[in-house]
Chain A
Amino acid sequence: MVESAPGRVLLWTLASVIAVAALGVGVYFGQRSLHPSAAPEAGDGASAVFGLTLPDQDGKEQAFAQWRGKILVVNFWATWCAPCREEMPLFKAAQQRLGPKGIQFVGIAADQADKVREFVSESHPDYPTVIGGFGAIELSRTLGNRVGALPYTVIIDRSGRIVQTQLGPFSEAKLNGILSQLL
């Protein structure tokens, strides 16, 4: 208990400074989480992606490092996610059109291998799909997917920086707009 008046003033000043600083930190973090499609810590996030190795639907391990230098569009999805499936024809068309220009789509399925295999054999996405299991959701959280819902897409430019994240399906206009700027 601070008895003297000046001592009390000092204590209150100190408490106010700490409170304001803490509020500032809180506001900073609050603002970051409210920004739609904000780019998360670019360096750490992208290197986490390039360090990944996950099995494709045939069980063959695919190292993401093979796609360095590409404009990489990493799409987290699942067969149980209807909006994810609705957006895939858009990705397929973009891959076919822009693949020769260095765009690479890769799907990470938060799903079971047999369900993914069945889906891929019916829909032929024309870009690689790897199986992440439900751990893929946690992986997407580390890349900025705060609510852990799907679809979640991360776009990495040629120099290996995350430039866009998207929760929810892309519109054709938005996807093409972003990709054409990166080409």
Chain B
Amino acid sequence: MSPVAAAQGDLLPNERAFAFSARGLDEKTVEAHFVIADGYYLYRDKLKFTVEPEPLAGTPALPPGKMKSDRFFGTVEIYRGELIARLPLEHALPGQRVKVSAESQGCADLGVCYPPQLQSVSLPLPMAGSRPGSLVEAAPRKKSWLD
């Protein structure tokens, strides 16, 4: 990668580059989403999900990422684009609110890296037999003419 002088105006803030959202899939499953902007990537080994108050039923399975060859870190697994992970809970909590948190760390192809980020959402789990809930975004886009 050749060093590129990155214009500040080109780079997204952390929560926009790696936008986290989640929804209640059923009474004991949360579905976590990351939308990773084009030209950005997340490190798989830095991804961590937690749910409160109900613990997760083991470590959630993560989808396969892409392998990236890094001069310093060797071969690392990264994610680009959209990442969806199912988080099964220990016990069902039909209709109850849970807090879903995601820790992540990522970089931009332009040649910068962002510090670790913690994002959280609060959402209701569906009742047994109900449809999945809608996605709740951690950092919803606010329209502002100052943007």
Shortest Cβ gap from B2 to chain A (Å):
8
Residues of B within 8 A of A103 (CB): none
Task: Take A36-B7, A146-B8, A147-B12 as given contacts and tell me if A168 and B112 are in contact as well, using a CB distance cutoff of 8 Å.
Answer: yes
A167–B3 contact, CB under 8 A?
A: no
A84–B115 contact, CB under 8 A?
A: no
Contact indicator per residue, chain B 103-147, by CB within 8 Å of chain A (1) or not (0) = 001011011111100000000000000000000000000000110
Contacting B at CB under 8 A, from A134-148, are 134, 137, 144, 146-148
Residues of B within 8 A of A62 (CB): none
A169–B8 contact, CB under 8 A?
A: no
A36–B5 contact, CB under 8 A?
A: yes
A85–B72 contact, CB under 8 A?
A: yes
Residues of B within 8 A of A151 (CB): 112
Contact of A137 among B7, B9, B110, B115 (CB under 8 A): B115
Cα–Cα distance between A87 and B11 once the two chains are bound (Å)? 19
A35 sits at the interface (CB 8 A): yes
Judged by DSSP, the binding face of B is: loop
A168–B145 contact, CB under 8 A?
A: no
Which residue of chain A has its CB nearest to the CB of B43? A80
B38 sits at the interface (CB 8 A): no
Contact of B5 among A80, A90, A170 (CB under 8 A): A170
Residues of B within 8 A of A33 (CB): 8-9
B13 sits at the interface (CB 8 A): yes
Q: Count B-side interface residues using an 8 Å CB cutoff.
A: 28
A148–B9 contact, CB under 8 A?
A: no
A6 sits at the interface (CB 8 A): no
Q: Count A-side interface residues using an 8 Å CB cutoff.
A: 37
A149 sits at the interface (CB 8 A): yes
Contacting B at CB under 8 A, from A111-166, are 134, 137, 144, 146-151, 166
Residues of A within 8 A of B3 (CB): 83, 86-87, 90, 168-171
Cα–Cα distance between A35 and B9 once the two chains are bound (Å)? 7
B1–A36 contact, CB under 8 A?
A: no
Cα–Cα distance between A90 and B113 once the two chains are bound (Å)? 19
B114–A29 contact, CB under 8 A?
A: no
A15 sits at the interface (CB 8 A): no
Residues on B lying within 8 angstroms of A by beta carbon are: 1-9, 11-14, 70-73, 105, 107-108, 110-115, 145-146
- 28 A-B residue pairs with CB within 8 Å: A29-B146, A34-B7, A34-B8, A35-B8, A35-B9, A37-B5, A82-B72, A82-B107, A83-B3, A83-B111, A110-B115, A147-B11, A147-B112, A148-B14, A148-B115, A149-B14, A149-B108, A149-B112, A149-B113, A149-B115, A151-B112, A166-B5, A167-B7, A168-B5, A169-B3, A169-B111, A170-B3, A171-B2
Residues on A lying within 8 angstroms of B by beta carbon are: 23, 26, 29-30, 33-38, 78, 80-87, 90, 110, 134, 137, 144, 146-151, 166-171, 174
